[in-house]
Structure 1
Amino acid sequence: MSHDTYELKADAREQVGKGSARAVRREGKVPAVIYGDKQPPLAIALSYKEIYYKIHGGGFLTTVATIDVGGQKIQVLPKDYQLDPVKDTPMHVDFLRIGKNTEVNVEVPVHFINEDKSPGIKRGGVLNIVRHEIEFHCPADAIPDSVTVDLSGADIGDSIHISSVKLPAGVRPVIHDRDFTIATIAGSAAMRPETDAPAEAAAPAATE
């Protein structure tokens, strides 16, 4: 995991529910809940500014964080968040407590390298990406920033499957019952040969 971990300060909330959440937002904060690791849920309020920049900064759902709640430091992984549909501002965040052996399912982006070493792309083929992200099951403290697909040697008509991707230790795809396709190298329309002229047009006109 290449994302740097970070720390957030939070206040504990005694009350939960829509009314309490609205009151938290009126104070310029974002309501959130920490759950999991066989402990009761903990309702908290976070700095609006800090959460806004973390959500829109990228990698929010794949980066482990520490939340300081009145001096108690809790390791968490953001699991979900809600944005205002009009203003795009954070409305609520769910965090998962990270224990010693916590494993999670996360969507990880796919990056492609060595397109210049793909014979198919060199000949005018097109990289057709089937999956821009892949869901993996992995340790919460070892979430990969991305997975890399090497296109070296890939020719037109080739498919790149998950089995050809080298994954970090402990990281495995949630879809495990088939060798699913991540991308293909397809021929472009410009490469197709011109169609033959219709036979009737090519044949000489019959004499009277």
Structure 2
Amino acid sequence: MTAIKELKAQARTKSGKGAARAERRAGRVPAVIYGDGKAPVGITLDYTEITRTIYAGHFLTTLFSVEVDGEKHRVIPRDYQLDVVKDQPLHVDFLRVAVGASLTVDVPVHFLNVDTAPAFKQGATLNIVSHSVELNVPADAIPEAIEVDVSSYALGASIHLSSVQLPAGVTWAGHGDDTLATVVAPSGLKEAEADEAAAAAAAAAPKA
């Protein structure tokens, strides 16, 4: 089961840009909790705590229990805004998550054994097409990442969604068999293959 992390928040009684700026000057970050058929709740979070939590990674795929005035809300972050210059959090949106619910989330893709796979020892490079994939997942079992072992892929191969084993209860949210990465042959090998093809074509051509 996915671990639920704790966050403490304060109720936000005022809304609007002026009130939000005042909260940020006081070392708080405005946020909102919404969804599950209930009224939105405006809150503020401690700036240092939420900044550390966001930059710790996996923020958008982590369940939180947010305590507001003694009441706990089971939520998952759906979005957050950063200052375009300072990269400081400006606002966070949380979605309420009912027990037993499923979610659609973006999960990172990790490629394993790139340094030791035979194709890459021959000089191949991994051209990553998708760094994350959209999945339908149980809220209590969100995978931290989808792992793809590249050991068996040869030069020129493409790695598709259909070749990846997903955890139990997890399905693709997208459509079609998308390409995650390709194994690109080294330039020297490509040139050698082109020369061989040209030589074969010349040998097969009718003599004048």
TM > 0.5: yes
Give the equivalent residue in structure 1 for 2:184: 186
Identity of aligned residues (%): 51
Query: Given that residues 77 and 96 in structure 1 are in contact (C-alpha distance below 8 angstroms), is that contact kept between their aligned partners in structure 2?
Result: yes
Q: Number of matched residues?
A: 196
TM superposition outliers: structure 1 runs of 4+ over 6 Å:
none
SS of the residue 1:175 aligns to: coil
Give the equivalent residue in structure 2 for 1:200: none
The question of 1:56 aligning with 2:55 is answered: yes
Question: Which residue identity lines up with residue 33 of structure 1 in the other structure?
Answer: V
Q: Offset of 1:7 from its aligned partner?
A: 0.9
Q: CA RMSD in A?
A: 2.2
The question of 1:171 aligning with 2:131 is answered: no
Q: Offset of 1:117 from its aligned partner?
A: 5.7
Matches of 2:94 and 2:81 in 1, distance apart? 12
Give the equivalent residue in structure 2 for 1:158: 157
Larger CA Rg, structure 1 vs 2: 1
Structure 2: which 5+ runs fail to align?
197-208
Comparing 136-145 with 28-37, which one deviates more in the overlay? 136-145
Matches of 1:162 and 1:68 in 2, distance apart? 39
Query: Given that residues 9 and 68 in structure 1 are in contact (C-alpha distance below 8 angstroms), is that contact kept between their aligned partners in structure 2?
Result: yes
Query: Given that residues 10 and 67 in structure 1 are in contact (C-alpha distance below 8 angstroms), is that contact kept between their aligned partners in structure 2?
Result: yes
The question of 1:130 aligning with 2:129 is answered: yes
SS of the residue 1:121 aligns to: helix
Alignment map for 1:5-154 (pairs within 5 Å): 5-115=4-114, 118-154=117-153
Q: Offset of 1:152 from its aligned partner?
A: 2.4
Q: Offset of 1:19 from its aligned partner?
A: 2.2
Query: Given that residues 117 and 151 in structure 1 are in contact (C-alpha distance below 8 angstroms), is that contact kept between their aligned partners in structure 2?
Result: no
Matches of 2:92 and 2:159 in 1, distance apart? 36
Matches of 1:93 and 1:180 in 2, distance apart? 31
